[in-house]
Chains A and B, each alone.
Chain A
Amino acid sequence: DAGVIQSPRHEVTEMGQEVTLRCKPISGHNSLFWYRQTMMRGLELLIYFNNNVPIDDSGMPEDRFSAKMPNASFSTLKIQPSEPRDSAVYFCASSYYQGFYGYTFGSGTRLTVV
């Protein structure tokens, strides 16, 4: 298995633009998580899906953020409009069940909003 695949690896965009981050989880995993890593807050959970259904999105900072999982093999995290404070590394992780067996993380997308 190729692991959790995220794209793009790096994204530089101007303030106000729409940004879409993509994630392909490990086949057979039924839970998917979006995290944001910042110096101040460490690994911050944004949203997680179980069997393609959003379960908890309380970590999504504001309405500018949205996430979808149209099928078991693909998820997107969209920021519209983007702001400089959104600059961070965004990780996607997947697991079988909700975490008992640990998560497998992707390599992350480094987002820079200028």
Chain B
Amino acid sequence: DQQVKQNSPSLSVQEGRISILNCDYTNSMFDYFLWYKKYPAEGPTFLISISSIKDKNEDGRFTVFLNKSAKHLSLHIVPSQPGDSAVYFCAASNAGNMLTFGGGTRLMVKP
């Protein structure tokens, strides 16, 4: 049973527009959420995180939104750049325990 799901395997957006990547979870005990970015031939790297006590966290062009009642989080990238093309994984943790990852969404930003 997948506790963290990314239902869109891929997303294509035009450069300069907004990219919205979505993630759903089922475990209401998750209290910390992270997004990782992965380029080909490299390992995933940490991008941004949010604690369950917040509903929004912003870092430059990247913003993560958390809707606890819907058990949904999203990553917004504005404006999108070709260098943002990568696979994005969302992950969730319960009280500092191990991370559970979603299946990933491949983002393609077209020039």
Interface of A toward B, CB cutoff 8 Å: 4, 31, 33, 35, 41-43, 45, 48, 56, 91, 93, 97-100, 102-108, 110
Contact = CB atoms under 8 A, between A and B. Distances in A.
A42 B89 contact: yes
- Name which of A91, A98, A99 has the most chain B CB atoms within 10 A of its CB: A99
A97 B29 CA distance: 18
Contacts of B69: none
Interface string B19-39: 000000000000010101000
Interface string B75-111: 0000000000000010001001111111110000000
B102 A98 contact: no
- Please classify the interface of chain A as helix (H, G, I), strand (E, B), loop, or mixed, using the class held by over half of its residues: strand
- Name which of A31, A56, A103, A110 has the most chain B CB atoms within 10 A of its CB: A103
B19 to A, nearest CB: 19
B104 A98 contact: no
Nearest to B97: A98
B93 A99 contact: yes
B39 to A, nearest CB: 10
26 contacts: A35-B101, A41-B103, A42-B6, A42-B89, A42-B104, A43-B89, A43-B103, A45-B100, A45-B101, A48-B98, A91-B44, A93-B43, A97-B96, A99-B97, A99-B98, A100-B93, A102-B49, A103-B46, A104-B46, A105-B36, A105-B44, A105-B45, A107-B41, A107-B43, A108-B41, A110-B41
A31 B102 CA distance: 20
